[in-house]
Every structure is written in C-alpha cells, then in structure tokens.
Amino acid sequence: METLTDLLEASLWTKSLSAEQLARVTAETTVKDVAAGAFVCRKGDPVENWIGIVHGLVKMTSVSPEGKTTTFLGVAGGGWFGEGSLLKDQTRKYDIVALRATRLALMPKPTFDWLLDTDIAFNRFLLVQLNERLAQFIAMVENQRLLEPDARVARSIAALFNPVLYPAMGPEVQISQEEIGYLSGVSRQRVNQALHVLQVAGLLEVNYGGLRIHDLEGLRAFGTPARPER
C-alpha cells in the first residue's frame, strides 16, 4: 500500500461510512513517513492522533530505568493503534519505534471522537479490535509460560499476521531475527534455531532480513499436540 486512500480502503471500519464521512476522514488525516529506527512517539507524549500503518512495521516497546528494552507487540501494515490512550485521554504509555521505513496515517483526536460519536459501526470495529488485542495479550502470557522456545517464536510471528488487526499484510515481513527475539522473548541465537526448525517443517521460508509465511495456521498451532479423535 502506498497512499492514505489505500489504507482506508483496506480498513474494515471505513466500509460503513458515507461518502461525506469518508471525505472528512480523508481530508483531516495526514500522512507521515518515518525512517527505520526512528521514534514514532515516546512514552509520556500527549496523545493527539489515532495512528494507522500504510506500510512498514512498528513496535511498541518499553525501556526500564536501567536501559533494558522489552517489545510488547509489532503493528503491521493495515493496522491502527493508540485508541486505548485516546479513549482514556492519557499520555502515551509506551514508546513506538519504526522497525523499517514506515508510512503512517495520523487521524487527529477530534476526528476520532467525531467518528466515535456518530458512527455505530466504528464503535463496533473498536470493540472487535480491542477484544482481538486482549486475546493476543492473554495468549502471549500463556505462550511465554507454557511453551518451549520454538513454539513461542512461531506464535509471535503468527501474531504479526493477524488478519483482524492487520488486514493488509502480505505473505512476507521484513524483520530481523534480533527483533523477532525481542517480540517473542527469546535470544537472537535461539530465534535463529527456531526459524530453521519452522522452515524445515514447511511453515515459513527464512530470507535475509525477513520471512515469508507458507502456513499461517501451522504456525499458530505449532507446539500444540493434535487432539486425538474420539
């Protein structure tokens, strides 16, 4: 995807908007390009926009006082984020960093509030998205506690391809193994091993600086024993 229009067309919440509503959203939403490694926003910033990803990839991270960094999740093409902070009218709780050169769409808070007040389908979209995120976070805690590293890596990658949250994802991502390590809570070396296991299993293809997904369902289910037929 290249333009704001592409992103809006790929986003589910625009489907029910009238031509007038869509025109207003298009007029008031701006586009911004950020370089790889750049901050999209920092912890403590006032929240002024709902942010969409036209293309590229960003991560939500937090840095401890000692400088250790943890990544909570990646947000991929077609995804929107920040509604939580907008709804609570708070400052950002996390840093957002671009992992690749990324094009963002910034919807001003007044526009967001206006959609919230006037469009029921928009509310339903947010409900579905928040629910999907909650499910992802619960799964993340469960995975981290119960699964072995290969499966943790498999599911962290699968989470990036969540079709509800990131409808515009193609079959490949550009992401280093180091970043996958941050996302899945596994060392880079272990990620490297895990990726080869997953490649041999035919679930994905390992490329320089990125991955191509062959079997998303297989990744999601990796490490779960098949339930015996009764």
Partner DNA sequence: TCATTAAATTGTT
Partner DNA sequence: AACAATTTAATGA
Measured from the CB of residue 200, what is the shortest distance to DNA in angstroms? Answer: 12
State the nearest-atom distance from the C-beta of 214 to DNA, in Å. 16
Q: Which one, 82 or 181, has the nearer CB to DNA?
A: 181
C-beta separation of 112 from 125 below 8 A: no
Residue among 5 and 187 whose Cβ is closer to DNA? 187
Q: What is the closest distance, in whole angstroms, from the C-beta atom of residue 171 to DNA in the complex?
A: 17
Q: How far apart are CA 228 and CA 161, in angstroms?
A: 28
Nearest distance, CB of residue 39 and DNA, angstroms? 16
Task: Please tell me the distance from the alpha carbon of residue 52 to that of residue 68, in angstroms, as a whole number.
Answer: 27
Q: Which is nearer to DNA, 33 or 178 (CB)?
A: 178
Closest approach, Cβ 100 to DNA, in A, equals 8
Residue 169 or 195 having the CB closest to DNA: 195
**Interaction site with DNA (CB under 7 A):** 176-178, 187-189, 192, 195-196, 206, 208-210
SS3 label, residue 24: helix
Amino acid type, 116: L
Position of tokens 């990796």? 222
Give the long-range contacts of residues 207-215, CB within 8 A, separation 24 or more: 207/172, 209/174, 209/175, 209/176, 210/172, 210/173, 210/174, 210/175, 211/157, 211/172, 211/173, 211/175, 212/171, 212/172, 213/157, 213/161, 213/171, 213/172, 213/173, 214/171
Pick between residue 2 and residue 178 the one whose CB is nearest to DNA. Answer: 178
